Structure 1
Amino acid sequence: MSIKKILLSLLILMLIFSSAAAAQEVLTMATTTSTENSGLLDELIPPFEEKFDVRVDVVAVGTGAAIELGRNGDADIIFVHAREAEDEFVASGYGVNRRDVMYNDFVILGPPSDPADIKETETAVEAFQKIKEEEAEFVSRGDDSGTNKKELSIWDSAEIAPEGSWYLESGQGMGPSINMANERQAYILADRGTYLAYSGDVELEIVNSGAPELFNPYGIIPINPAYHTHVNYQLAMAFTGYVTSQQGQQIIDNYMQYDEQLFYPSAIKAEDLEE
């Protein structure tokens, strides 16, 4: 075979493969940084991609930004954790068929020295009040994320307007914010999943947890195709079905870091999952 024929054959093969790649469906998912920083998506997405021969493009931002992407039609589906904002999103018609997926909880992290004696408090509100009294440094994400929304609601319940040199806004995701708090030996509100994923690299430890107000549920919402006709609604519904199925819920239930479970399935009870 001549060189020209070999090159022509290679060119045809390249065109065939590139056409096949271009034809592959893509699901754009806007999600909170905690699902990515925790490492969960690295376990959850590949089986779906393989099963449906598709690609999932993840845009990891704060929940507020993820919801805005969905509202603008810049994502096919959102996977977030701010129930009040989620319900408003659906009620406004931007999202449909919301489903509960999983939950964990928020925790207050602090330096081992615990200068504000947070370990002596029973609730998150009491903990925040002591932080303000001592004006101990506190790092806020300040990014309208689900975590930031929860933090602000706790300050509101404590009847405190957080401001001053002790209150620092990172404007970043959960992982970088934890690193910033660790560098400054400051307090921070974090989701347990991301903390556990980072716990081997930081000195911060959990100084308050377990209060009902720290419950942290996650939901998934396909974007309404009636509002944005270009969204891949069918693939969004397929992903919704997958993460709430036995397979998806089992992956969530089995996901561990440092011998601790990061998230708990809520679409199917753990005791009903197949072993």
Structure 2
Amino acid sequence: MRAAIVAIVLLVLAACGSPAAGPSAERSLVLATTTSTQDSGLLDDLLPAFTAATGWAVKPVAVGSGQAIEMGRRGEADVLLVHSPAAEEDYVAEGTAGRRLLVMHNDFVLLGPEADPAGVRGATVSEAMRRIAAAGAVFVSRGDDSGTHAREKSLWEKAGVAPGAPWYQETGQGMGATLRVAAEKAGYTLSDRSTYLTQPGGLALLVEGDPGLFNVYHVIEVTKRAGERVQPEAAAAFADWITGPDAQRRIGEFGREEYGQPLFVPDAGEPDPTGP
């Protein structure tokens, strides 16, 4: 009889313990974000702090901004952290997204071989693009529908240039891989500054500071209108946290000690330069 009672008590305790373990294991969200946030190391700093603060574990998927937005459309992610404003605005206008909040910015830089055969050093970005095309110098594009690729295409358009073979080459890969290919080919490329600083590949920084190179990141909540698997409460938790004081402080400090400058500038609460 005593053994039976003990067995019953153990079963009850096990049953009581399992719900406590269950939610903790299930509190996991999918973050679709860009390769720049991963390659720079920013996610490694932010995500453990978010989990500690909220109890939500994060499964990051680092792809181009265009691919991340497509994941949101299909309901395959709970929240997005991206940097392709025009594509973001189109996505939000479709009605399946929730809040779109300003998080941070950095900038793009135009890189190339130290010898600079096209003579772009110090030029405006539009003039630099025209000189690269006129010289037929190798330009290595990500070609992956990322935020960086979208900005690069807009820069060619503003420069009045239609890039093409043989000098224009696409990798279809992320920023780190594209930097390596550009270095191997002694070519030019466009990069976000954070990836350039954290993954030096033998390329020189030739054009920076142009207004056309400003690079803004937003967090976008996905809603159940995109699919039943979406967890709006997880999206809200992440959006609230990354625009909150702890995350913004971390963003502002990230990279300062190692590189002598922050890799991103926190912007939450500031006027959004890309509009609502």
TM-score between the two structures when normalised by the length of structure 1: 0.88
Once the two structures are overlaid, the 10-residue window that deviates more, 162-171 or 48-57, is 48-57
Give the whole-Å Cα distance in 2 for the aligned partners of 1:94 and 1:177: 32
Number of residue pairs aligned between Structure 1 and Structure 2: 257
What is the aligned partner in structure 2 of residue 37 from structure 1? Answer: 39
Query: Secondary structure of 2:161's match?
Result: coil
Any idea what the Cα deviations from partners look like across 1:131-174, whole Å, max 9, x if unmatched? 00111111000001000000000111111111011111000001
SS of the equivalent of 1:267 reads coil
TM superposition shift of 1:215: 0.5
Identify unmatched segments of 5+ residues in structure 1: 1-7, 270-275
Matches of 2:116 and 2:20, distance apart in 1: 57
SS, match of residue 97 in structure 1: strand
Q: Which one is further off, 187-196 or 251-260?
A: 251-260
Q: Deviation per CA, 1:177-211, whole angstroms, max 9, x where unpaired?
A: 11111111110000011111112xx2112100111
Give the C-alpha shift of residue 18 in structure 1. 11
- Distance in 2 of aligned mates of 1:166 and 1:193: 26
Q: Which runs of 5+ in 2 are unaligned?
A: 1-9, 271-276
**Contact 1:76 / 1:223 at 8 angstroms: preserved in 2?**
yes
Q: 1:98 to 1:147 in 2, by over 3 A?
A: same
Match in the other structure for 2:141: 140
**Aligned positions of 1:87-166 closer than 5 A:** 87-121=89-123, 123-166=124-167
CA RMSD of aligned residues (A): 2.2
Structure 1 counterpart of 2:264, which letter? Answer: F
Q: Distance in 1 between matches of 2:20 and 2:164?
A: 54
Rounded Cα–Cα distance in structure 2 between residues aligned with 1:80 and 1:24: 25
Q: Distance between the aligned counterparts of 1:161 and 1:87, measured in 2? A: 25
Q: Is the 8 A contact 2:108 2:190 kept in 1?
A: yes
Match of 2:168 in 1: 167
Match of 1:56 among 41, 55, 58: 58
Residue 85 in 1 paired to residue 87 in 2?
Answer: yes
| Percent identical residues | 43
Is structure 2 residue 217 aligned with structure 1 residue 218? Answer: yes
CA distance in 2, matches of 1:247, 1:54: 16
1:93/1:224 contact within 8 Å kept: no
Displacement after TM superposition at 1:20 (Å) = 4.0
Is contact 2:111–2:204 with CA below 8 Å preserved after alignment?
yes
**Corresponding residue of 2:28:** 26
Separation in 1, partners of 2:65, 2:198: 19
* 3-state DSSP of counterpart to 1:67: helix
Alignment partner, residue 259 of structure 1: 260
Look up the match of 1:191. Answer: 192
Distance 1:36 1:97 in 2: 23
The aligned counterpart of 2:204 is 205
In structure 2, C-alpha distance between the alignment counterparts of 1:119 and 1:64, rounded to whole Å: 30
SS in 1 for 2:227: coil
Q: Which amino acid aligns with 1:245?
A: G
Instruction: Call closer, same or farther: CA 1:137–1:182 in 2, change over 3 Å.
Output: same
